[in-house]
Amino acid sequence: TFHFCTSGTPRVPAFTEDGDFVIGGVFSIHFKLYTVVYDYTTKPAPPRCTGSVNPRVLRFLRTMIFAIKEINNSTELLPGINLGYQIYDSCVAVPVSVHVAFQLLNGKDPVFNKGGNCSQSGVVAVVGDSGSTPSISISRIFRSFNIPLVSPFATCACLSDKQQHPTFFRTIPSDQFQADGLAKLVKHFGWMWIGAVRSDSDYGNYGMASFLDAARREGICVEYSEAFYRTDPPSKIKKVADVVRRSTAVVVVAFASSGDMKFLLEELARDPPPPRQWIGSEGWIGDPYLLSFSFCAGAIGVAIQQSITPGLRDFLLDLSPSDDAFNCSLTTSKNLSICIRKSPYTETSQLRINNMVYKAVYAIAHAIHNAVCNKTNGHTQCDKHILLKPKEVFTKLQKVNFSKNGYHVSFDVNGDPMAFYELVNWQKSESGDIEPVTVGYYDASLPVGQQFRINGNLTWVEGVTQVPVSVCSDSCPPGTRKVLQKGKPICCYDCVPCPEGEISNITDSPDCLPCPEEFWPNSERNACFPKPVEFLSFDEVLGIILAALSVSGAFLAVTAAAVFIHHRTTPIVRANNSELSFLLLFSLTLCFLCSLTFIGAPSEWSCMLRHTAFGITFVLCISCVLGKTIVVLLAFKATLPGSNVMKWFGPLQQRMTVVCLALIQVIICIIWLVVSPPFPRKNLTIYREKIILECALGSDVGFWAVLGYIGLLAVFCFVLAVLARKLPDNFNEAKMITFSMLIFCAVWITFIPAYVSSPGKFTVAVEIFAILASSFGLILCIFAPKCFIILFQPQKNTKKFLMNKK
């Protein structure tokens, strides 16, 4: 039973007990603050707390008393010293917190005092408050007096600022660690599009600011961020609830205290929203009184590590009942008996924050122990008569380092403990009730990448069996890139296929990367593969046809030569220099066969061979034709009386003419090969998607010089053949030469534009076609008629027939 001290105007309520050293306590026991009207004519009364008692915070208060009693009974910690306490109610209100702070400084006017003693000395340290906003107010007052304030539940990151709060300590981690952990939790499950609600208090505002900063670093987008407070008008809380109902984000991160969250969930319960995956801060995710909201099943959040403190549970339940609910007013009762039957106070399955209170009391006790106790001859002696100043406790508190019940307690330079959270998942039991289940942990002391771990099976929002999807836009698959939607967050984008020649091989790629020069994307544009190398090969149809024509032409030339050799004594073979005919057939055979060097993969030797062989064999061929044409002209001139021209162009001169004309082409080819020879080259410009393996000319001048020389001889030969075409004989060879040169010139005139305009391997095919066409023209026009007469009209193969004039 706690007695009410009635000296003067009612004050802020408090629980007190005498001791050698007094520890203060500040907790938000009530939900509401009674506002006093000031008329400035009388002395204003202090603010008073009204409304129902918060049973959860009442357990914090009782835990502090339990810890002090346990220390007072200890023979190792502060032996022979009795700690006292003064515990006040701040009502989660700054005016009350300020009033409490000054009362603790003055050490007088307590309201509830065990034993009726209404006088107390000042405190050496204070445990509290259970909220960030009241703790900020108290800390700013205490800093001028070096009074340490150890909070078990004030998590605002702002309290780590030692410039503003030099004497503040806490046994609960800073919200900065919690915010980072929540952001990593959201990113772990791929939730890139979320909603956010928060308490409109220092806890909610600072905590959400830290979370949003961490979320941005993780690439998470926020659809909305709404603030509310328990004292807000119902219309404002309803407005926040409507935002949650209408949003497209499936995941909602709530950085709120349990008291504030209770009001929002009650409003949502009137018209439950579509399934929402709730992500909770430690302020409410571990509160068992919120488990009745079934639409929150599957909620995940970070919670303070659950502890097992021997004897605490029995102590909390060891109260004399006098009512069936916590509806007693601590400001009006002269004999307050805590009512526990059928009360939420009896719910002691989740004593998470109680452990923080327990640690805070023990941290202060260890600091006092280090200040007043000495160990002599193995025995600890403590001086309870020493004048202990709060500053000494503050100094010793900075160096506290101990373990209790398996949990380590120490503070860093900012007064913060080591950050460790349990991951809690609200799961439905077989009975249908929602229970908080620990499924993992977040340990900020571990290296990056090992801090976050899930050990258990998770359940999700009702009706969902797999991880819920919460994105503004579906992920862009490999082969596409993200293009942001105008005026929307970075998580809202369109997926655009990569342009030609570029790929993306990761999901949600912001850019497409070009493939290396000799690579090309696959059809999905998610990987680069070597470009196919294209050249005129013997394996493809076009190559096979051209090779067959080449071999056929060579066989035809060899066959004609065989016919001529077999009938070499006949007049038609002897009629026009059979030696030149055989040389012409040999050169035609080489012309047909040299086209084979154009087929197949180009190499350094094949590139030099194909053009030089072509140039030399064709000049040899045309030289022979030219020699035969000159022989025809001179032969008819020699039939005139007194003409002796044939002695100037006999067999020797004919051979020399052919050799000299061919030697000029050889010299041109040698110069070409020495100065800038043809070479194999990968042509990447004609087609982007494939490589053309071709023979580069090396020197364009050399190539066109070879062709030009062939063309010059062909034109000259054609002119002479035209002049000799009307000479009188049954077998005038000049006519056949004229037709063959006409075909030859026509082929090579059309070759030039076709060669220049044909892409890739078709350039080679055009050149082979020109070689074969001109070669077939020569052999068919010059030798086919002779072979026909030899084989099928032998009666015409006589000197008499050949010498007859038309």
SS (H, E, C) 476-523: CCCCEEEEECCCCCCCCEEEEECCCCEECCCCCCCCCEECCCCEEECC
pTM above 0.75, yes or no: no
Residue 86: alpha-carbon gap to chain centroid: 56
Q: What is the arithmetic mean of pLDDT over 763-779?
A: 87
Beta-bridge partners for 225: 196
> What average pLDDT does the structure give for the chain?
83
CB–CB of 323/335 below 8 Å?
no
Say yes or no: do domains 15-173+348-410 and 541-800 share a fold.
Answer: no
User: What is the distance between the alpha carbons of residues 276 and 243, in angstroms, rounded to a whole number?
Assistant: 12
Q: Are 623 and 604 in contact (CB under 8 A)?
A: no
Backbone angles phi, psi at 756, to 5 degrees: -70, -35
**Closest by Cα among 172, 137, 169, 139 to 153:** 172
Q: How many CA atoms lie within 13 A of 634 on its CB side?
A: 18
Residues 783-804: tens digit of each pLDDT: 888 888 888 888 877 777 766 6
Task: Residue 793: name the closest of 734, 730, 735, 739 by CA.
Answer: 730
pLDDT band at 401 (very low <50, low <70, confident <90, very high): very high
pLDDT of the residue at 109: 45
- Give the C-alpha separation, 318 to 148, whole Å: 31
Q: 618: buried, middle or exposed (CB in 10 Å: 19+, 13-18, 0-12)?
A: buried
Tokens for 556?
């035809």
Look at residue 652 and tell me whether its pLDDT is greater than 80: no
Give the pLDDT confidence score for residue 737 in this predicted structure. 78
> Is it the case that residue 160 has pLDDT exceeding 60?
yes
Q: In sequence order, which residues have a C-beta less than 8 Å from that of residue 266 and are 6 or more positions away?
A: none
* Dist. CA 25–CA 112, nearest whole Å: 13
pLDDT value of position 131: 81
* Rounded Cα–Cα distance for residues 55 and 61 (Å): 10
Written in H, E and C, the secondary structure of 762-780 is HHHHHHHHHHHHHHHHHHH
Considering only 190-199, 375-384, 666-675, which range has the smallest mean pLDDT?
375-384
Half-sphere exposure of 124 (CA within 13 A, CB side): 26
Both tokens assigned to 495 = 């997926």
- Cross-sheet strand order for the sheet of 533-534: 533-534, 691-696, 679-683
Please state, in angstroms and rounded to a whole number, the distance separating the CA atoms of residues 319 and 343: 12
Q: For the chain, what is the largest distance between any 2 Cα atoms, rounded to a whole number of angstroms?
A: 167
Examine the pLDDT at 5 and tell me if it is beyond 90: no
> The tokens of 310 are what?
């021997």
Closest-CA residue to 394 (of 124, 141, 170): 124
Q: For residue range 498-518, what is the model confidence (pLDDT) as tens digits?
A: 999 899 989 888 899 999 988
In the three-class reduction of DSSP (H, G, I as helix; E, B as strand; rest coil), residue 403 is classed as strand
Reading the block at residue 772, the tokens are 């074969």
- Domain 541-800 superfamily per CATH: Rhodopsin 7-helix transmembrane proteins (1.20.1070.10)
Least confident of 29-38, 542-551, 621-630: 29-38
Percent of the chain with pLDDT over 70: 85
CATH class entry, domain 175-307+419-454:
alpha beta
Region 244-265: mean pLDDT is 93
The architecture in CATH of the region 15-173+348-410 reads 3-Layer(aba) Sandwich (3.40)
pLDDT of 640 over the 70 cut: no
**% of the chain surpassing 90 pLDDT:** 32
Q: Dump pLDDT digits (tens) for 445-475.
A: 888 878 888 887 889 887 777 899 998 888 8
The residue-averaged pLDDT of 312-324 equals 65
CA dihedral 652, 657, 660, 664 (to 10 degrees): -170
Least confident of 147-156, 415-424, 712-721: 712-721
Q: Note the pLDDT of residue 118.
A: 39
Domain boundaries, the chain: 15-173+348-410, 175-307+419-454, 480-530, 541-800
The pLDDT tens digits of the residues spanning 725-761 come to 665 555 556 677 777 888 878 887 887 787 777 777 8
- The confidence band for 700, taking pLDDT boundaries of 50, 70 and 90, is confident
Question: What is the identity of the amino acid at 280?
Answer: G
Tokens for 177?
A: 């660690």
Question: Taking the CA of residue 274 as centre, how many other CA atoms within 13 Å lie in the half-sphere pointing to its CB?
Answer: 11
User: CA-CA distance, 386 to 224, in Å (whole number)?
Assistant: 57
Buried b (16+ CB within 10 A) or exposed e, 692-712: bbbbbbbbeebeebbbebbbe
Q: Which residues in 290-433 belong to E strands, given as ranges? A: 300-304, 335-336, 373-376, 379-382, 401-404, 407-410, 420-428
Mean pLDDT of all residues in 593-617 = 87
* Residue found under tokens 């500053």: 391
Q: Which of 33-37, 223-227, 702-706 reaches the highest mean pLDDT?
A: 223-227
Six token digits for residue 136: 């900020």
| Residue 125 pLDDT | 95
**Pairing mode of beta strands 30-34, 48-53:** antiparallel
Q: Which backbone phi and psi does 211 adopt, to 5 degrees?
A: -65, -45
Is the pLDDT at 1 greater than 60? The verdict is no
**Contacts by residues 660-665 (CB-CB < 8 Å, ≥ 24 positions apart):** 661/619, 661/622, 661/623, 661/626, 661/713, 662/616, 662/619, 662/620, 662/623, 664/619, 664/709, 665/615, 665/616, 665/619, 665/706, 665/709, 665/710
CA distance 616 to 611: 9
**Res 443 pLDDT > 60:** yes
Please tell me the predicted confidence (pLDDT) of residue 455. Answer: 84
Kindly state the average pLDDT of the residues 311-324. Answer: 66
Residue 761 is which amino acid?
Answer: K
Query: Model confidence over 78-135: pLDDT tens digits?
Result: 998 999 999 998 887 888 888 889 888 886 544 333 433 333 347 999 998 878 888 9
When mean pLDDT is compared across 211-220, 325-334, 699-708, the lowest value belongs to 325-334
Give the Cβ contact number of residue 447 at 10 Å: 6
Give the residue-averaged pLDDT of 269-297: 90
Average pLDDT estimate for 270-294: 90
Separation of alpha carbons 123 and 389, rounded Å: 9
Q: How far apart are CA 577 and CA 627, in angstroms?
A: 9
Residues 6+ apart with CB under 8 A from 441: 420, 421, 422, 423, 453, 455
